Amino acid sequence: MKQSPSLIGPSGEETVLPTFLNLPPDKRERVVEAALVEFADKGYQQASLNTIVAASGIAKGSIYQYFRDKKGFFLYLFDFAVARVRRTLVQVKEASAHQDFFTRLEKSLLAGVEFIRRHPRIYGIYLKILFDRHVPRRDELLRAVRRFAADYLGSLLRQGMARGEVRADLPEGTAVFILDALLDRFLQAASVPAFDVALDLDRAASPELEQRIRELVDILRRGLAR
């Protein structure tokens, strides 16, 4: 859990202070876990440092020795969350490199669902910044995540085209948009209640999720037209 690359945030301001990095690992994890729970549930604005203090058993003043302020705390957490997501996607991409485009798409969806079910808070933090313009650096953070997802999917798509599995006459931007939209939406529906009334994915067990993923990818493969 060495996080030295985040000591200096993207704009040169400290997001985390040295005291935090010097903590014993179990104590550091306690702070991170309590903050993940609170920020993922409440979003940036409503998340309360007092709640994090109570849940972690750390004194209020100490939190300000670890991070300059609430914003710094949040940005550190977001960095942490994004790094976790990226690692996963890179692994999926490499592990499926020898398979065809549509299989890779299925594998990505499956890995995505597995990730959010194992790390609901990390996904929750991401969801909470989507529509809240008051999150510090929201546009920048979101753009970084979305850029990563688009690059990932764009790369899959180009490889699929090069191998003759995907039509080469596609407008790439729109195709990436569709893939991105469906991937993210599927994860949201699998994660958030009342979101999806067509499939009820948030209550679905693995076999059903897999079936739905196969159907979705098949529709993408063949289109809707008769």
Partner DNA sequence: GCTTCATGTGACCACCTGGTCATATCGCGC
Partner DNA sequence: GCGCGATATGACCAGGTGGTCACATGAAGC
Amino acid identity of 43?
Answer: G
| Distance separating alpha carbons of residues 74 and 136, to the nearest angstrom | 9
CA-CA distance, 112 to 184, in Å (whole number)? Answer: 9
One-letter amino acid of 21: L
| One character per residue 4-43, x = contact with its own copies (rule: CB under 8 A) | -------------------------------------xxx
CA angle 106, 112, 117 (to 5 degrees): 130
Give yes or no for residue 198 binding its own copies (CB under 8 A). yes
Q: Which residues pair with 8 in a beta bridge?
A: 14
Encoded one letter per residue, x for contact with DNA by CB under 7 A and - for no contact, window 54-93 reads: ----xxxxx-xx---xxx----------------------
Query: For the window 153-192, what string marks contact with its own copies as x by the rule CB under 8 A?
Result: -x-----x---xxxxx-xx-xxxxxx-xxx-xxx-xx--x
Q: How many CB atoms lie within 10 A of CB 184?
A: 17
Does residue number 210 form part of the binding site for its own copies (CB under 8 A)?
no
Q: How far apart are the first and last CA of the chain?
A: 53
Q: Which is nearer to DNA, 22 or 91 (CB)?
A: 22
Residue (63 or 190) nearer to DNA, CB = 63
- The alpha carbons of the chain give a radius of gyration, in whole angstroms, of 20
Residues in 112-151 that interact with its own copies by CB under 8 A: 124, 127-128, 130-134, 138-140, 142-143, 146-147, 150
Binding of DNA by 32 (CB under 7 A): no
Binding site partner of 131, from DNA, its own copies, none, Cβ cut-off 5-8 A by kind: its own copies
Q: Which of 8, 204, 22, 4 is nearest to 113 (CA)?
A: 204
Question: Which distant-in-sequence residues (6+ apart) come within 8 Å of 10 by Cβ?
Answer: 137, 140
Of 110 and 150, the one with the shorter C-beta distance to its own copies is 150
Q: In angstroms, what is the minimal distance from the CB of 69 to DNA?
A: 4
**Could you list the residues that contact DNA (CB under 7 A)?**
18-19, 22-23, 27, 47-51, 58-62, 64-65, 69-71
